[in-house]
Structure 1
């Protein structure tokens, strides 16, 4: 156990006034972080950690990247906020986005958070949908934010209030826990066929909002053919494809959009987390004809208090220019292949590690009580998470799944060191 005396005192002090309801990671980890440099975090007691969660899957370039720090510092000395008025860097940022995003996504609206940009995408869909197309499709296990519109998509009720709204849910491609009780390849992607039947083929459906790789659900990677079937059916029936790339956008999976890897050409894409290396920033990318549609582009439609603020633009521009200049998408693919092999080696060793899945530098490890029944074990996942912190490794915890998302700039030696620490943490947890 690492020294935590100062941290525990600090946590007790803030607990007198801080509302409960922190993330599971914060509640279990109980750390007070004071500094971040590259892939390394330092806490109040001087302990250091390899950050394999990249903040909250946000620090694409690692903590305190000097070029992002410089861009923010220089901008902070000049100008912070003039609502959504044009500033010198905005045109340059838009040009960079046009180079990195698929050619058909050539028009952009700038926001601050993931949920905000998802809500903006929903407004575009609702404004442009023809009469009669009044329903929106989404996937079970999906996560799109905590605002009301985002919650309505996945029928996320709070208390006794039900806000299912007008969304229709389809089956996510969760092969490890197939909701239909089938197995590949004999399943013939029945989940995709049902999404086609209940969402894509319905004349009342305006759009399908989806995560190409479901992140909060535990990095659910679709099998080959799933998205091709669903996307083709949506295209044939006039259903818009809205990709929630808040977590994956910006290169996390080895392509700038995960949609590119799974064979989908979205009409709208929402990006946020890693786009400005953790600074609040989000972008809605879309087809020209959608975002310029008079019904969707009424005065104020793409404006908000912090939308287009100069600080977010500066951080995003610096982050994306480093990703582009240093060819970090290629680096993500290379490191992802290495991480794939290392993590599957852990799966071979530990019976309680039921499934390992991922793309690029985004991986999910699903812990179970036993492989035969696949009973989820959140207790074991929490124990591994806590043991990893004690050993000097920070990952992302959610239920019975741990997610790994190292920064794009990590080197192979530190990647291997992180996997070694994770292996030791699993050993501790399963033998405790």
Structure 2
């Protein structure tokens, strides 16, 4: 009997929504593939869990050994609409049959235009907007900085503690955490300055006070008149799913507006329904000048965007923005399918349901598991901060043991945070409640053996 005979030939929402373990994790077929990977793939490319995927859909990932794992990662917030979502598959299939590439800068096509139109409609604010499409989140951030520098004639870029913005040279400079993102890769791009971030669990400050602290650093160490842009994630992603105190983002936006600084919301992880709104800054009533978009926008295909005030986007000379693959027609078709799915299924409402379910279960666990210092997040972007009980001292080892235990029990989880002590939960928004409850049951069982 072949060990892989029961693996589905295709993924998508029709996959049985169940946790099923038929081998140890990883199983023999995954281990065999891992040997090939070790010989062929650069060691610098890591993986959270060495199980090799055969199919995925809804809230599960099925590996080559036939194990069905509950997916609380969504490919790091990418498969918001689920893997192989029908509307994405149908539009991508039609586009592939028509043409796969011309380069928009050579011979344009309507999909690119329509994606820009839709993103202009969906991002906050009623002002005139334009967009440009790219391949990755880091590219989007880098191009937002380019737009801001040309528009303002200034060079300084301000970011905050615990930020993550990417792996290019400029975005590594903008990213706070050294290991593994920056170690050994310098020197980095200049004119990037870091200021304190609102982190209520650790600083105890209200939003206005935290903003005043941030602004004081900018004024004293950079000078507002030198700042092209302030780039900030409305909910920190890789930095620990930190939700700033109410009023913090609004105060920074006011400061930027008063001093001619471009306010850039990096919504790469928090955007596209992930937090229960199209974009996380909407929770604070903040209207950014520029928004960077990627991850969940295209149902798993590589696409990113900078969307913002038309006069800012138009300040760059013709040919100054673009790239060979940016806004590829197949990725654009996927984005239009993903956006249609988000609207048809009202995934903003679903994200709020997921928030209630996950935070409810996690707070129950926190009441009996002292290492959980805080449960936080928005929508289907939820995390627990693991600390030494009764303190705010990070406990990365316990967080790692919790995540590893979940992996062995068939639940795919991720850690994050500057201190490596955050366990984050990013399920596809189409994952059924029963599967999410089962994942929380597994976490509780693992916690009972770790504590």
When the two structures are superposed, what TM-score results if normalisation uses the length of structure 1? 0.91
Distance in 2 between the 1:192 and 1:371 partners? 29
Contact 1:100–1:256 (8 Å) recurs in 2 = yes
- 1:5-404 alignment runs, 5 A limit: 5-23=28-46, 26-27=47-48, 29-84=49-104, 85-102=107-124, 103-104=126-127, 106-130=129-153, 133-154=154-175, 157-159=182-184, 161-163=186-188, 165-178=190-203, 183-184=204-205, 189-199=208-218, 202-293=224-315, 296=316, 298-368=317-387, 370-398=388-416, 399-404=420-425
Assess if the C-alpha contact under 8 Å between 1:107 and 1:291 holds in 2. Answer: yes
SS of alignment partner, residue 203 of structure 1: helix
C-alpha separation in 1, matches of 2:112 and 2:148: 25
TM-aligned CA deviation for residue 44 of structure 1:
1.4
**Which has the larger displacement, 386-395 or 45-54?**
386-395
Judge conservation of contact 1:75–1:310 (CA < 8 Å) in 2. Answer: yes
How many residues are paired up? 415
Q: CA deviation at 1:384?
A: 1.3
- Aligned partners of 2:398 and 2:450 also within 8 Å: yes
Q: Distance in 1 between matches of 2:40 and 2:138?
A: 26
> Residues 198 and 205 of structure 2 are in contact (CA less than 8 Å); yes or no, is this contact kept in structure 1?
no
Contact 1:267 1:286 in 2 (8 A): yes
Structure 2 alignment gaps of length 5 or more: 1-20
Residues 37-46 or 310-319, more deviating: 37-46
Q: Could you report, residue by residue, the CA deviation over 1:265-319 in whole angstroms, capped at 9, with x for unpaired residues?
A: 11000000000011101111010110112xx1x2322210111211110000000
Gap change, CA 1:109 and 1:36, over 3 Å in 2 = same
Counterpart of 1:373 in 2: which secondary structure?
Answer: coil
What's the TM-score once normalised by structure 2's chain length?
A: 0.87
In 2, the alpha carbon distance for the partners of 1:301 and 1:7 equals 44
Deviations 1:124-161 (A, max 9, x none): 1111123xx33111101101001011122246554283
Identify if the C-alpha distance between structure 1 residues 162 and 194 changes in structure 2 by more than 3 Å, giving closer, same or farther: farther
Say yes or no: does 1:407 pair with 2:428: yes
Deviation, structure 1 residue 243? 0.8
Cα RMSD (Å) of the superposition?
A: 1.9
Check the 8 A contact 1:154/1:167 in 2, yes or no.
no
SS at 1:299 equivalent:
coil
Unmatched 5+ stretches in structure 1? none
Distance 2:140 2:342 in 1: 22
Q: Secondary structure at the match of 1:278?
A: coil
Alpha-carbon contact 2:166-2:175 (below 8 Å) kept: no
Q: How many angstroms does 1:414 deviate by? A: 2.1
Tell me which of 395, 413, 416 is aligned to 2:437: 416
Task: Give SS of 2:358's match.
Answer: helix
Contact 1:154 1:164 in 2 (8 A): no
Higher mean displacement: 86-95 or 415-424: 86-95
Cα contact 2:120–2:308 (8 A) shared by 1: no
In the superposition, relative to structure 1, how do residues 139 and 286 fare at CA in structure 2: closer, same or farther (>3 Å)? same
